[in-house]
Amino acid sequence: MKLKLTFEAEKNVELPIHYNYILQGFIYNNLAKPFADFLHNEGYRYGNQIFKLITFSKIYGRKKILKKEKKIIFSPSFHIYISAIDTHILQNIAVELIQKENLRLHRNFISLKSVETIKEPVTSTKTILKTISPITVHESLNRKTMYYNPYQEKFYKLLEENLRKKVAVITGNKNAEILIKPVEGTKYKKIITYYKNNFVIEAWDGKFQIEAPPEIIKIALSTGIGARNSQGFGMVAVSEECNERRN
């Protein structure tokens, strides 16, 4: 399930360029305590790994980037997307935001203008996904983080393994058939994010093709693909290009 949350402010909204952790904190702070505690302290376990099974997008709206000041200025009206496998979490976020007249995002005061449920019907076993927030893929080698890019086969192997684990957590199926590959002609854009100003995360924007049963593609749309979904990475949507091909 995916929600589109539209906000408005009385003036422009000013944030650090690397604002993922601020948006993550905003979401957690506007969850009822039981839900926030579950996501923060427990999550969904697969062996030694813990998945949150929630993700969110970057901020969408008119913006101006001030590189020297390391700031980004958004127009007073902007929106984000948030999705999760547990619809109760999304319903709670919506209720909490609706009930609060004044919301604080970093040093900005904003209010919720509208909530929209995004319908993403999936009937095919082959779908083109586009990133709503960039995808990050990595593994630890000799205590160092090794990032991979969409031009490497390992990138897709790790994407598939990651989604397979999420499917196992949700459905119990540990052998889901999943194939993720690049879309021919796509130019992938590298995004570097400084999480909490000091931890560097390498991620990529673009389009990807997924081949899997529809119910697994729906899981990818709800949980995100790749790593660090709960930090605002790996959110995807069905590409308009895919709909055009069906017509």
Active-site residues: which are they? Answer: 28, 40
Question: Beta-strand (E) ranges in the chain?
Answer: 2-8, 13-16, 44-46, 49-51, 54-56, 63-66, 71-74, 77-84, 103-105, 108-118, 126-131, 138-141, 144-147, 179-182, 189-195, 199-205, 207-211, 236-238
3-state secondary structure of 80: strand
- Residues 1 and 128: their CA atoms lie apart, in Å, by 18
Please list, in sequence order, all residues whose beta carbon lies within 8 angstroms of the beta carbon of residue 66, skipping any fewer than 6 positions away.
Answer: 72, 73
Q: How far is CA 29 from CA 39, 78, 162, 217, in A?
A: 12, 19, 27, 29
Torsion over CA: 42, 115, 215, 241 (sign): negative
Q: Which amino acid is at 193?
A: T
Residue 197, classified by CB atoms within 10 Å of its CB into exposed (0-12), middle (13-18) or buried (19+), is exposed
Closest CA to 212 of 154, 136, 118, 129: 129
The answer to whether residues 201 and 193 touch, using CB atoms and an 8 Å cutoff, is: yes
